[in-house]
Chains A and B, each alone.
Chain A
Amino acid sequence: MDLVLTILVEGLGYASYLFIVSLGLTIIFGVLKILNVAHGAFFAWGAYSCAFLIGEFSVMGVSDIGTMIAIPIAALVVGVVLGSAIERTIIRNLYGRDEVIIVLATFGLFLVLEDVILLVFGVDPYFAFQPTLAIPGVQIGGIYQDGYKLTMIALSLVVGLISWLVLNRTHWGKVVSAIIFDSELAVAMGVNVKRVFYVVFLAGAILGALGGAYIAPTISVSPGFGVEVIVLSFAVVVIGGMGSIAGAAIGALMVGMLRAYAVLQWPEIELFVVYAVMAAVLIFRPEGLFAPAKARKI
């Protein structure tokens, strides 16, 4: 029982930040049809900025819990600044190019942004553990879990709910859904697709940065740590279905639970089980477990 509870908590914790990151990736893919490798850079930039700010705030005498304000600041600033810059200079000029070429361009962008991190933040790892000390631990399944992890789970629920509401209950969301469904038709109906693309890219970037900013206090933020997150979030969106919010949630849950189970019970399979599932989903259900409805065109 303790074991099951621990797997659940671990899995949920892991799934929560993966969901936030993958949500950003999947909405960008759904709307812009761009598989953005540079999403890993949003994640890394979010984490670095957040860790840096927490450190600065802490030095300025902000209380441990107060330093958490760094998380939304980092996510917004990184998402808006970096997202705008990239959309305006690179992505915008790639619309209409071969999908795979776009992936490669974002890969180049990722390499560039990785090194800019080194130039801006230096090569030392950052530890921004203050928020994890501020939130008391909770005993679940016979062991202590840090309270911070539980707030991560809560945050991911909130983020998921907000996204669902925006997409389904607002005018904007309906426009976006229309574009996901058929962008040509949407243009014909008078939708300013360029503007929608821009806003969606920004939203995706903010989510990517938020994932990084929120996880930052619980990890060592060091060069190259965005590399693994990219493929993991690829796995999440592929498993769930590219371009689907529910898919990102299901994918993240599956990946999180699989990994938690593997670490606790069967460490040998920890690293590949996720990709084996990803391959299986691609083979048997290439559109993913929760693919959005697709307009069939001939």
Chain B
Amino acid sequence: MAQFMDRTTAGLTIGFASVAILGVLVLPDWLMSQILIAFSRALAVLGLLVLWRTGLISFGHALYFGLGAYTVALLGKDLGITEVLITLPAAALVASVVGFGLGFVIRKYREIFFAMLNLAFSMVLFGILVKTEALGSTDGFSVEQPTLFGMGTDDSTAKLTSLFLGICAIGWIASVLVHRYLGSVLGSLTTAVRDNEIRVEYLGYSVAQAIHGKYVMSAALTGLAGGFTALALGQVDPESMVNWTVSGELVFVTVLAGPGSVAAPFIGSLVFELLRTYAFELVPYAWQLIVGGTLLVVIFFLPGGLWSLIARIGGGRKTGQRGTTAGTTAGTTAGTSAGEAGR
């Protein structure tokens, strides 16, 4: 995958460009809004995908999601900084700095302990936010209207369109970069680490450092996701951004999407968002049932996630044969291996 424009990159480019054009020209506001929220979350899922390729699943990434969201919201509220070119990078930065710090501890853990330690850290942030009146306690607070190059807008459609195009651009950049990274030597180590850590060490690579790097990367992506979600919704609060159920939801979407491709998080996240919206509209008291049921169905019948379905139907033509087949294999192994390496 050394050439400048491999098939996955081309596919991603075409995909994001067509969503952007469709969104602006054809789609109604509400659907743009949903894509915006879904793609924002997809950035976090992309971050979890990087970890999952290593066999690690975090049940605490709401920590980084919340950090990103609150960074954007607090910059606007307390410092009056609403420039998205500052607030969004700041969201990613804060998340990655915290991820870098905690990474020194977390990189030693695998499997359930990895999941649990992340959970504990995220619940600490949750507890602090809920009890601190200056940070809005249970209510959270509203996010100031964002500006770009110092310019803002009072027109909700213009704001939505701008954010929508922004998430398409950032989604494209992030997925291409992650795709490149997974194709690089450092990135390919992921699968090797999952399968046999000791062998990787013998090859002369530090497993701890490789995992630390991935962890920071996933933290940054998740922070960015939180920041974007805060802008898209105009509100942050601990219950729907930092509680453990949010972490569960992120992992859920990761599994729903499947580890097959960097495009999967975006598709999976959109499917999830639409599923949730329609389930909520049709059966307000059973939407969790539908969502949870879907999760079970995917785990039992579709271990490679939605992506494996797309790959099967489309024969992988759309976004590159190599990426897809490699991915599906990874998905099935990740799904079925009992994690012997760590026992």
A–B touch (CB < 8 A): the answer is: yes
Known: A108-B296, A231-B123. 17 other contacts (CB 8 A): A97-B336, A98-B335, A100-B115, A107-B252, A107-B295, A108-B299, A111-B288, A114-B288, A115-B287, A119-B289, A235-B120, A242-B112, A271-B128, A272-B131, A274-B123, A279-B121, A282-B120
- Which of A37, A271, A278 lies in contact with B120, CB distance below 8 A? A278
CB proximity to A under 8 Å, residues B264-287? 285-287
> Is B57 a contact of A119 with CB atoms below 8 Å?
no
A residues with a Cβ closer than 8 A to B are: 35, 37, 90, 93-94, 96-101, 103-105, 107-112, 114-116, 118-119, 123, 227, 230-231, 234-235, 238, 242, 267-276, 278-279, 282-283, 286, 297
Residue of A nearest to B128 (CB): A272
- Which of B55, B112, B124, B126 lies in contact with A103, CB distance below 8 A? B112
Q: Give the distance to chain B from A53, nearest Cβ to Cβ, in Å.
A: 22
Mostly, the B contact residues are helix
> Is B252 a contact of A108 with CB atoms below 8 Å?
yes
- Which of A96, A123, A231 lies in contact with B119, CB distance below 8 A? A231
CA distance A109 to B293 in the complex (A): 7
Q: Give the distance to chain B from A10, nearest Cβ to Cβ, in Å.
A: 18
Q: A98-B337, A101-B299, A283-B105 are in contact. Are A273 and B127 (CB under 8 A)?
A: yes
Query: Is B310 in the interface zone, CB < 8 Å from A?
Result: no
> Is B285 a contact of A115 with CB atoms below 8 Å?
yes
Residue of A nearest to B105 (CB): A283
Residue of B nearest to A122 (CB): B285
Chain A residues, Cβ within 8 Å of B291: 111
Query: Is B174 in the interface zone, CB < 8 Å from A?
Result: no
Residue of B nearest to A230 (CB): B244
Chain A residues, Cβ within 8 Å of B105: 283
> Is A119 a contact of B286 with CB atoms below 8 Å?
yes
The residue among A37, A112, A116 with the most chain B CB atoms within 10 A of its own CB is A112
Chain B residues, Cβ within 8 Å of A123: 285
Chain A residues, Cβ within 8 Å of B292: 107-112, 114-115
CA distance A35 to B113 in the complex (A): 11
Q: A98-B335, A104-B299, A114-B288 are in contact. Are A270 and B293 (CB under 8 A)?
A: no
Chain A residues, Cβ within 8 Å of B288: 111-112, 114-115
CA distance A99 to B299 in the complex (A): 12
> Is A112 a contact of B337 with CB atoms below 8 Å?
no
CA distance A243 to B285 in the complex (A): 35
> Is B289 a contact of A97 with CB atoms below 8 Å?
no
Chain B window 106-121, contacts with chain A (Cβ cutoff 8 Å), 1 for yes, 0 for no: 0001011101110111
> Is B127 a contact of A275 with CB atoms below 8 Å?
yes
> Is B252 a contact of A98 with CB atoms below 8 Å?
no
Q: What 7 pairs between A and B have smallest CB-CB spacing?
A: A272-B127, A111-B292, A271-B127, A108-B295, A115-B289, A275-B123, A279-B120
CB proximity to A under 8 Å, residues B7-52? none
Q: A104-B255, A104-B295 are in contact. Are A271 and B117 (CB under 8 A)?
A: no
Chain B residues, Cβ within 8 Å of A112: 288-289, 292-293, 296
CA distance A279 to B121 in the complex (A): 6
Q: Give the distance to chain B from A44, nearest Cβ to Cβ, in Å.
A: 12
- Which of A35, A110, A118, A272 lies in contact with B123, CB distance below 8 A? A272
Chain B residues, Cβ within 8 Å of A231: 119, 123, 244
Chain A residues, Cβ within 8 Å of B294: 108
The residue among A37, A97, A276, A282 with the most chain B CB atoms within 10 A of its own CB is A282
Q: Give the distance to chain A from B204, nearest Cβ to Cβ, in Å.
A: 23
Q: Give the distance to chain A from B302, nearest Cβ to Cβ, in Å.
A: 12
Query: Is B132 in the interface zone, CB < 8 Å from A?
Result: yes
A-B residue pairs in contact (CB < 8 Å), sample of 16: A98-B334, A99-B339, A104-B248, A105-B295, A108-B292, A112-B293, A115-B287, A115-B289, A119-B289, A238-B120, A270-B127, A271-B126, A271-B130, A274-B127, A275-B124, A279-B124
